[in-house]
Amino acid sequence: MAKPHSVDLSGLFTEATRVRDNSPLKSLTKYMEADSQLVSLGAGLPHPSTFPFAQIGARVAPAGASVANTAPADMLNVYVTTLPGAVEGLGKFLQYGNGRGVPSYAAFTHEHTQRVHDPKYSDWDTVVSLGNTDAFVKALMLFCSSGDTLLVDEWTYPAIIGTVVPMNVQLAPIHMDGEGMVPEALDDVCTSWTGERKLRMVYTIPTAQNPTGATMSIERKRAIYAVAQKHNLVIIEDDPYYYLQFEPYVAPSGTERYTNLPGIKNLVPSLLSLDTDGRVIRLDSFSKVLAPGLRCGWVTAPKYITDKIQFHNETSIQQPAGVSQAIVASLMNDQWGHAGWERHLVQIQREYAMRRDVFVDLCLKHLNGLVEFTVPDAGMFLWFRVLLRPELQSQTGVMQRVFDSMVANHVLLVPGYMFSPKGAEQKVRDEPYIRAAFSFAATTDFEVAITRLAQALAPFC
Amino acid sequence: MSLNTSTALASKLPQAKDLSHLLVPTFRIHQKSPFKAVMGTPTHDMINMAGGVPHPSTFPLEQVQATVRAPSHAALGLAGTLSLERTQASGSTESLNELLQYNDGRGMASYCRFLRKFTEQTHAPPYADWDVVASCGNTDSIAKAVSLFCQQGDHIIVEQYSFPGALSNLVFAKVKPVPVAMDSEGVDPVALDSLCSSWTGATPLRAIYMIPTGQNPTGATMSLARRKALYAVAQKHDLVIIEDDPYYFLQLGPMPDTQETAATDMSKLPLVPSLLSLDTDGRVIRLDSFSKILAPNLRCGWITAPAYIQDRMQILNESTILQPSGLTQGVISRLLNDTWGIEGWNEHLNSLRAAYSARRNLFVTLAHKHLAGLATFTVPTAGMFLWMRVDLGDAAADATAMPRLLDAMKKGGVMMAPDMPFRVTNAAAAAAPERFLRAAFALAETDMFEPALERLARAIASIRGSELQDTQSGTCAEPIDTMAPAPIAVNSST
């Protein structure tokens, strides 16, 4: 059965987006490709013979293995030379290209998206990004400009709070519960909106939400999507923790677990996978599943939208670094393949599930009566509500004193107000939330950290 | 390339002038991210449950390596293999675990350290509190630099022909470009002074964006005297200068006197000093890139500016790219710090100058031979561009002549960039435009230079309606100014 074409939302584009088009110089290259007899002196490209690299490569763990536990002899070699092989040659990875990226890298991300999400409309497409923060800016600028308002989770990723200020875009926070953004709250805000400019976009992190750790169920996602349809909103689905989904927590955790990790077959389906209209702009990143320093990711959206992001890339970052694309593309095409990549993702799930379990065991053991929290089903964050004594609740400056107490006890968590669009308000600064990340500290340090946290909080609870 | 070594003079240098009155209001207040401030909380024995960053044990890379050539372009053979190791530093460069992790918006320490050293050696900035920040190339840096000083509705001075990537950014930012006249040496400081003195626009002129070396598209390079004059005008009118200088290290040798290519020892040929090297006030935001001097798709460069400006640049990075690829910075750092060292790096740059000089020499010689009476140009002394004024003869007044020329060129099998994407017009220039083509001589194989120029000659001749003259014995007229300064209309906007 044929998939429907996306709904045309280009009427909601900003003026700047309408104007974004192919670079006139880059469009000259199509003449070059069409006619091999044509001598082009049009493009200001350096000659590849001036690139001093003969080969770039890496030694990588086999898919699904931990690099620390892999013997040197078992490491895999991936490499790119000046000659094309499984992927393009260095002449392609290191030369100017367009905002779509090197084809083998781009094709892998496109195929992976098809395998995992199977988008339900016909004209979906992917375009490269440098990671989700830059991708967010590009997605936002498609539809929002000075004077617009973006709907966001009431607690959200701090970088976007800073980003919108110079753009003169306001943030409208939407109430959340243990599963994330509440659809009725989104509907209410949209229905009762009296702002001068209509609402066009909602930004959400539906899996292992930063900072609350909340994960939307499929039913929640359907409800959010229905509200977006009702109010003709574009959804920015920022999903860097998507693959970090686990089995539900059972107390206390045992050692014989992780036989039932979701892999890619049993993940909670994405908003993209529900998207029959083509109103979801999905942001994917390699940061939490390969490494942040690669600065590699991709965006999925209708092609008329990914085209605009391509043109925006071409007047800014161009594409991800060629060295990063070369390593990722040759790893995926030459060694791991999709099957290996999916095995690797299970191993990542195992690592984070284990951390979640150790951490939650210890929280239940040491923090009784001091905090309450929802156990996360995914990701790396735990969002504590500090159970302040009644007389301290909403006392001006109380959470600053709690933070100071944590520092004095040598444990660092993040105060909740930093995740609020209204974080400048004293009222919000005194909301009793703190975020813990269990991704980085050594698990052998967890107990010390949590006992220090208990000591820090005890005087206030 | 001459080495400028710094001495104890550095400690006696003045601080940058405080130009924060030129910043857009949002950036006037220093706004370090409070989140980052928390992350920077320094205490002994702190257990970090704050950073939402992955543990490096989840990065599947054990080692990254690259085989690199010897620095000299002409030399065969390899310099060897550089490597980056998972948990240990390699030479001056951080471990893979650090390079692959989230880092701040300034750049990897070893990368920035080399660039500080190289910048000091090359430019010896004449004020004390400058710093470098990593970038992912000059196009992105231009957008960020402009956003610090210009907001919607503001104006910015640009060269009358400029880099389309920059011009596009201005359109999207709703910042209006005000063109300043150029001649064969680039921006005319007298025209700039006059433009600023007679400016009556709604918002003040705060910045000029320019490409002073091997300019894109005109190939013009400003002399030292010209740069000093320009800097004085910028001081007079309190302008920030965005010095976009990706071709700076591609400064070329002299044209040979005879048909034989003179072999010039580039190491004895000094570079024209940069605007940064003259910048006693700290009003230059200098944009450097590895795109033309290592490889374009490394997506790595750096910005040099006063430290308080760099604090804002860091904030801009942290809300967009974060940093260039840590892996790429690591490879570059290892190459420049260790495998080649700064001596090898200078050798590499000199070998690029020699290679580009050879190409320029051949191309210009053939252009003189084939384009007499058809086009004129100034010989470029840097970069990769030849900017030719096309002489369309009787057809010059015909608005369809240029499109017909481009069509004839395409049919004839040659392509060059037409002038339109580069042009920042004002009313006077639009009324009687001279027409130009930009030829890039870096990429095409050199044995195709002559066929390309022959085809161009035929195409121009066909538009002029004249027979192609026998050009074997002719040369182009002595290089003349190809761009008479266009009168600048006051309050011009495009």
Taking only the tens place, the pLDDT of each residue in B309-334 is 999 999 999 999 999 999 999 999 99
- Please tell me the predicted confidence (pLDDT) of residue A247: 85
Pick the residue from chain A with its C-alpha nearest to B409. A38
Cross-chain Cβ contact B54/A440 below 8 Å:
yes
Q: What share of chain A is helix, strand, coil (3-state, %, to 5)?
A: 40, 15, 40
Is A318:B299 a contact under the CB 8 Å cutoff? Answer: yes
Q: Which residue's entry shows tokens 């094709």?
A: A107
Least CA distance to A286: which residue of chain B?
B59
Please check whether residue B261 touches A, CB under 8 A: no
Please list, in sequence order, all residues whose beta carbon lies within 8 angstroms of the beta carbon of residue A178, skipping any fewer than 6 positions away.
Answer: A214, A374
- ipTM given for this complex: 0.95
CB contact under 8 A, B295 and A322: yes
Q: For residue A254, what pLDDT is reported? A: 67
DSSP bridge pairs for B65: A57, B83
Task: Choose among B46, B55, B327: nearest Cβ to A327.
Answer: B327
Q: Do B60 and A25 touch (CB under 8 A)?
A: no
Radius of gyration of chain A (CA): 24
pTM here is 0.93
Work out the mean pLDDT of chain B and round it to a whole number.
88
Nearest CB neighbour to A54, from listed B68, B440, B452: B68
pLDDT at A298: 98
> Which chain B positions have a beta carbon within 8 Å of A454's beta carbon?
none
For position B259, what pLDDT does the model report? Answer: 47
Q: B114-166, pLDDT tens digit by residue?
A: 999 999 999 999 999 999 999 999 999 999 999 999 999 999 999 999 999 99
Do the Cβ atoms of B438 and B217 come closer than 8 Å? yes
* Secondary structure of B147-165 in HEC code, one letter for each residue: HHHCCCCCEEEEECECCHH
Place of tokens 């192609």: B468
Using the 8-state DSSP alphabet, how is residue A299 labeled?
E
In this prediction, residue A344 carries a pLDDT of 97
Give the closest-approach CA distance of A397 to chain B in angstroms: 16
Q: What is the pLDDT along chain A (461 residues), one digit of tens a residue?
A: 789 999 999 999 999 999 999 887 777 766 666 677 899 999 999 999 999 999 999 999 999 999 999 999 999 999 999 999 999 999 999 999 999 999 999 999 999 999 999 999 999 999 999 999 999 999 999 999 999 999 999 999 999 998 998 899 999 999 999 999 999 999 999 999 999 999 999 999 999 999 999 999 999 999 999 999 999 999 999 999 999 999 888 877 766 667 789 999 999 999 999 999 999 999 999 999 999 999 999 999 999 999 999 999 999 999 999 999 999 999 999 999 999 999 999 999 999 999 999 999 999 999 999 999 999 999 999 999 999 999 999 789 999 999 999 999 999 999 999 999 999 899 999 999 999 999 999 999 999 999 999 999 999 99
Listed range (A174-183, A253-262, B401-410, B463-472) with the worst mean pLDDT: B463-472
Cα distance between residue B6 and residue B123, in whole Å: 9
pLDDT at B393 over 90: no
Nearest Cβ partner for A41 among B103, B323, B440: B440
Average pLDDT over every residue of B70-92? 84
- Do residues A338 and A111 lie in contact, with contact meaning Cβ atoms separated by under 8 Å? yes
Q: Using CB atoms, which residue from A160, A323, A445 is nearest to B328? A: A323
Residues 286-325 of A with CB under 8 A from B: 287-288, 290-296, 314-324
Interface of A with B in 410-439 (CB under 8 A): 410-415, 418, 423, 435-439
Give chain A positions within 8 Å (CB) of B319.
133, 137, 159-160, 162-163
CA-CA distance, B384 to B220, in Å (whole number)? 11
Choose from B61, B100, B423 for mutation: most chain A CBs within 10 A: B61
Helix H, strand E, coil C: the string for chain B is: CCCCCCCHHHHHCCCCCCCHHHCCHHHHCCCCCHHHHHHCCCCCCCEECCCCCCCHHHCCEEEEEEEEECCCCCCCCEEEEEEEECCCCECCECCHHHHCCCCCCCCCHHHHHHHHHHHHHHHCCCCCCEEEEEECCHHHHHHHHHHHHCCCCCEEEEECECCHHHHHHHHHHCCEEEEECEECCEECHHHHHHHHHCCCCCCCCCEEEECCCCCCCCCCCCCHHHHHHHHHHHHHCCCEEEEECCCHHHECCCCCCCCCCCCCCHHHCCCCCCCHHHCCCCCEEEEEECCCCCCHHHCCEEEEEEHHHHHHHHHHHHCCCCCCCHHHHHHHHHHHHHHCHHHHHHHHHHHHHHHHHHHHHHHHHHHHHHCCCCEECCCCCECCEEEEEECCHHHHHCCCHHHHHHHHHHHHCEECEECHHHECCCHHHHHCCCCEEEEECCCCCHHHHHHHHHHHHHHHHHHHCCCCCCCCCCCCCCCCCCCCCCCCCCCCCC
SS3 assignment, position A366: helix
Question: Is B296–A45 a contact, with Cβ atoms under 8 angstroms apart?
Answer: yes
- Provide the chain B residues 300-319 that lie in CB contact (below 8 A) with chain A: 300, 315, 318-319
Contact A52 B297 (CB under 8 A): no
3-state secondary structure of A415: strand
Angstrom CA distances, B375 to A210, B184, B434, stand at 61, 15, 11
Mean pLDDT lowest among A24-38, A319-333, B20-34, B202-216: A24-38
Q: Give yes or no for B74 touching A (CB within 8 A).
A: no
Chain A residue with minimum CA distance to B174: A16
Q: What is the pLDDT of residue B78?
A: 75
